[in-house]
Amino acid sequence: MKFADSLDGDIVVLDVSGKIMGGEETTMFHGKIHEYITQNKKTFIVDLSKVDWMNSVGLGMLISALTTVKNSGGRLVLANITKIESILTITRLISVFEHYDTRDLALAAVR
């Protein structure tokens, strides 16, 4: 897994790519979320358009990120979940995550 972060105004956009299956990148992902929260940036979009695959550790990473952001009074939404929609549906997490078909729709929703 790789990820890149950017700001769109006060909205943090995290572009995730590759296979999400834990490891050092997961720790770095959480560190980046905490870093933005300490800068009072509390609205996050996780764009999953370039994700190839995700295992249960990847799901745990997203759940942990959602919990961290919500506990800080923020909002985290997912964009472009097509490739992981089946695992979110099977685990019933599809109803836990706010999600949008495109990054633009996600940006419009959180503004």
23 has pLDDT over 90: no
Q: Which of 48, 53, 44 lies closest to 9, judged by CA?
A: 44
Angle formed by the axes of helices 24-38 and 56-71, nearest 10°: 10
Taking only the tens place, the pLDDT of each residue in 97-109 is 999 999 999 999 9
Which pLDDT score is estimated for 18?
95
Q: Which domain holds residue 105?
A: 2-110
Q: Which of 58, 49, 47 lies closest to 19, judged by CA?
A: 58
Overall number of domains in the chain: 1
Say which CATH number the domain at 50 has.
3.30.750.24
Taking only the tens place, the pLDDT of each residue in 26-39 is 999 999 999 999 99
- CA gap 87, 78 in Å, rounded: 14
CA-to-CA separations, 26 to 34, 51, 81, 104, in angstroms, rounded: 13, 14, 18, 25
Which pLDDT score is estimated for 22?
84
